[in-house]
Structure 1
Amino acid sequence: MDNQNEVNQRPADNSKEWKLIEKVVMDLQGEQRKSRRWGIFFKLLTAFYVFAILALFRMPGGAESAPSKASEHVAVIEVNGVISADQDASADNIIGALRDAFDSENAVGVILRINSPGGSPVQSGYVYDEIKRLKEIRPDFPVYAVIMDLGASGAYYIAAAADEIYADKASLVGSIGVVGSGFGFVDLMEKVGVERRQYTSGEHKGFLDPFLPENKDEKEFWQSVLSVTHKQFIAQVKAGRGDRLKETPDMFSGLIWSGEQALEMGLIDGLASSSQIAREKLNVEDLVSYTYKPNPWEEVMGRFGTSFGHGVASFFAQQTMVLR
């Protein structure tokens, strides 16, 4: 009797086992299908990026390809954004473009097309000095600066080296001054309960530390550094503009002026655009960009990179001085 009952239970047990096996197999097949679909997706995505990168390498050079550098033209160099060693508007990039323009047999002159709030006094000074040097080598090669929306501080420093400066009536021009900025977190640290520990060799090695109380003597010293840099800036502007400047008490105060006001003050020579200067001053219609363009591969990789950690470290560790 017991044997009969055991035989009757086996089909049911086998049925459950087969259903479980079928479910496991079906699940495995489903996972495999999903895995294949994702694999195909990522392969297509990779192929897309490869084709996109190849397309960047094969793209024509924009302004440089139409018209050609082989015909008579005006060289245009863009000075866009913050003037800094790690930005597009670095001295290396601008100077390299200037040298290419001066070396060109078919360029009849160069226009610096400026749209910048300024930046490093060192980078601006490098460009200023290089323009003056190149002008000594090729004095018959005119350099014009055309300010678009903004030509302030270090950007105006560069413009002052040009033979003539032009802007729109609504452009913002000037801001001949220097600023050194930072932060103070002393009270915040006390509230949070954080203790600052700094070890230095040298009485003033840690000056301008945002986590320490401000020191009167160090503040006066830093102000003297800013004042010296400001005087250098003013001297270069005066050397570049000469007797065209109609100096006022506010001219070198750091204030910024409209194009019309800048014209009255002698900070610029007229109101005109780049194409107007090419036609009216150089008698040439064609504008060709000599602006530095990064390698497409470097540009793509740069977009994927991250500088967050570096930015945070710089924010806390560095005090910056910029022309503004």
Structure 2
Amino acid sequence: MRGFQPRLVPDHRAPFAWRECLLLMANARQKPRLFYSRSTCWRQYHNVIATCIPFFAAFLIWETPMTPDDTAHEPRASHQQEHPPAPSPHETTMLQLLREMREQRLALQAEHQLAASERQVERRWKMAFQGVFFVAPLIIGLLYFLFFLSSSGFRWGPFGEVVGVVRIHGQIAAFSPASADKVIPALEKAFANTNVKAVILSIDSPGGAPVEAERINHAIASLKKKYGKPVVAVINNLGASAAYLIALHTDKIVAGKYSLVGSIGAILAPWELHRAMARLEVSQRVYASGKMKSFLNPFTPVSPEMDAKAQQLVDQMGQTFINELQAARGAALKPGIDYGSGEVWGGLEAKEIGLIDGIGTVDDVAQQGWGLKTYDFGPHQEGFGPLSAHTDASLLRLLEHVLAQQRFQLR
């Protein structure tokens, strides 16, 4: 039917409008021009069909041959014949034309649906690319920012009544997470927060610098006087030396059954490198205004006077520790125990000799004492992530270990 052209009625019995309709349909059957849109072509086909339907009906009535005898003998109530007449050539042409137009209409509908689905897929891919190149980096940046805030110690809340927990973990030194510069701000946040009903010191430390512990003790006393909140020290794995000294300045000391408590006293452990230098034939010449000025110099031999002075300082610092122990827990201490021997005791034995008040953990103290959940106020390790924080802490511990040998430490 591609090259089909409709013919007009030879005897010109059809009206003039019918011939015009056939010509319009013949033109409509041609392939749409390239610059026409699908919607325009579809509208033209609909107009053609709507215009031609009345003329199709008139043509069928006009071309149907009827004789007077057939009209007279045909019953009015019956419109069906046992053997329908064969269609005329004009009817066949019209049916073929309508069939082809219907096929073209269905083809246009299919093309329109295909184009719509392609546009929909294109929009989805466009949105996907926009999400990958714009939304995904924004989400990743936001998550990294939140992770950075979390790793740097920033916390949301608390949003209800809680028991604040301040951690003293690791060696107590100037550059460690348990330093006074880190612990005191955490204590201030915990005491100043109105939702915090009590403060727990979570201690897990072998001790460290006595001056750092002294600063923390003064801060605890000042904050207790200002806000009137109770403070409880809970020793986890280890609470020794300067860490136990901090626990003495709280209202109550609690430790676990398997905790280690004690190591009361002082220690001074300088290096002696002059012998190793002598093997290398290297020495250091020291000029001092007094004989004790180079007291802790590791590159010069230790004189008897320097040795006696070092022991005197250690005994004095240890006795000061014992005096603070007796002032804080004198009534609970058991007679006949040498608390200044540097010994450590387990949790149960430490309770028997009066070094602690009870056995329990942080969660036990919070639930039994106030029936509230805990909220961690830190201090937290700084850095962009766990790896960098661990590396920084390792380097600081190494530097701290070297420097700590040259000053007094309660251990």
- TM bucket by the smaller chain? 0.7 to 0.9
For 1:148 and 1:101, locate their aligned partners in 2 and report how far apart those are by CA, in whole Å. 20
Letter in 2 for 1:290: F
The equivalent of 2:409 in structure 1 is 322
For 1:238 and 1:135, locate their aligned partners in 2 and report how far apart those are by CA, in whole Å. 21
Q: Does 1:101 align with 2:193?
A: no
The equivalent of 2:260 in structure 1 is 172
Count of matched residue pairs: 272
The equivalent of 2:354 in structure 1 is 266
The question of whether the paired residues in 2 share the 8 Å contact of 1:53 and 1:297 is answered with: no
State the Cα deviation string for residues 42-91 of structure 1 (Å, max 9, x = none). xxxxx9xx9585352365999954xx412000000111000011100011
Deviation at 1:221, TM superposition (A): 1.4
The equivalent of 1:119 in structure 2 is 208
Picking from 57, 61, 68, the partner of 2:148 is 57
Letter in 1 for 2:378: T
What SS does the aligned partner of 1:202 have? coil
Q: Does 1:226 align with 2:314?
A: yes
Letter in 2 for 1:234: I
Deviation at 1:317, TM superposition (A): 10
For 2:400 and 2:162, locate their aligned partners in 1 and report how far apart those are by CA, in whole Å. 45
- Highest relative contact order (Cα 8 Å, sep 6+), 1 or 2? 1
What SS does the aligned partner of 2:334 have? coil
Letter in 2 for 1:54: F
Picking from 287, 290, 293, the partner of 1:205 is 293
- Inter-CA distance 312–64: structure 2 relative to 1 (3 Å threshold): closer
For 2:234 and 2:327, locate their aligned partners in 1 and report how far apart those are by CA, in whole Å. 19
For 1:59 and 1:134, locate their aligned partners in 2 and report how far apart those are by CA, in whole Å. 26
- Inter-CA distance 94–307: structure 2 relative to 1 (3 Å threshold): closer
The question of whether the paired residues in 1 share the 8 Å contact of 2:264 and 2:410 is answered with: yes
Cα RMSD over matched residues?
A: 3.2
What SS does the aligned partner of 1:173 have? strand
Letter in 2 for 1:239: A
- Inter-CA distance 63–307: structure 2 relative to 1 (3 Å threshold): closer
For 1:142 and 1:113, locate their aligned partners in 2 and report how far apart those are by CA, in whole Å. 14
For 1:196 and 1:216, locate their aligned partners in 2 and report how far apart those are by CA, in whole Å. 19
State the Cα deviation string for residues 264-317 of structure 1 (Å, max 9, x = none). 011001110111101111222x11011123554598876677997996798389
- Inter-CA distance 316–283: structure 2 relative to 1 (3 Å threshold): closer
Picking from 365, 369, 377, the partner of 1:277 is 365
Q: Does 1:86 align with 2:175?
A: yes
User: Matches of residues 117-156 of structure 1 in structure 2 within 5 Å?
Assistant: 117-139=206-228, 141-156=229-244
- Inter-CA distance 309–242: structure 2 relative to 1 (3 Å threshold): closer
Letter in 1 for 2:334: K
For 1:188 and 1:231, locate their aligned partners in 2 and report how far apart those are by CA, in whole Å. 35
Runs of 5+ in structure 1 lacking a partner?
A: 1-46
The equivalent of 1:293 in structure 2 is 380
For 1:163 and 1:312, locate their aligned partners in 2 and report how far apart those are by CA, in whole Å. 34
Q: Does 1:71 align with 2:160?
A: yes
State the Cα deviation string for residues 87-133 of structure 1 (Å, max 9, x = none). 00011211111111111111110111110000000001111122122
For 1:253 and 1:317, locate their aligned partners in 2 and report how far apart those are by CA, in whole Å. 21
For 1:305 and 1:280, locate their aligned partners in 2 and report how far apart those are by CA, in whole Å. 38
Letter in 1 for 2:279: K
What SS does the aligned partner of 1:322 have? coil
Letter in 1 for 2:197: V
- Inter-CA distance 154–304: structure 2 relative to 1 (3 Å threshold): closer
For 2:369 and 2:182, locate their aligned partners in 1 and report how far apart those are by CA, in whole Å. 26
Q: Normalized against structure 2, the TM-score is what? A: 0.59
Q: Normalized against structure 1, the TM-score is what? A: 0.74
The question of whether the paired residues in 2 share the 8 Å contact of 1:114 and 1:148 is answered with: yes
State the Cα deviation string for residues 3-56 of structure 1 (Å, max 9, x = none). xxxxxxxxxxxxxxxxxxxxxxxxxxxxxxxxxxxxxxxxxxxx9xx9585352
Picking from 253, 275, 280, the partner of 1:192 is 280
The equivalent of 1:23 in structure 2 is none
State the Cα deviation string for residues 182-224 of structure 1 (Å, max 9, x = none). 2223332222222222233333221122222221111111222
Greater share of strand: 1
Greater displacement, 121-130 / 243-252: 243-252
Greater displacement, 270-279 / 53-62: 53-62
The question of whether the paired residues in 1 share the 8 Å contact of 2:151 and 2:382 is answered with: no
- Inter-CA distance 293–262: structure 2 relative to 1 (3 Å threshold): same
Letter in 2 for 1:71: G
Deviation at 1:258, TM superposition (A): 0.5
The question of whether the paired residues in 2 share the 8 Å contact of 1:149 and 1:171 is answered with: yes
For 2:306 and 2:206, locate their aligned partners in 1 and report how far apart those are by CA, in whole Å. 28
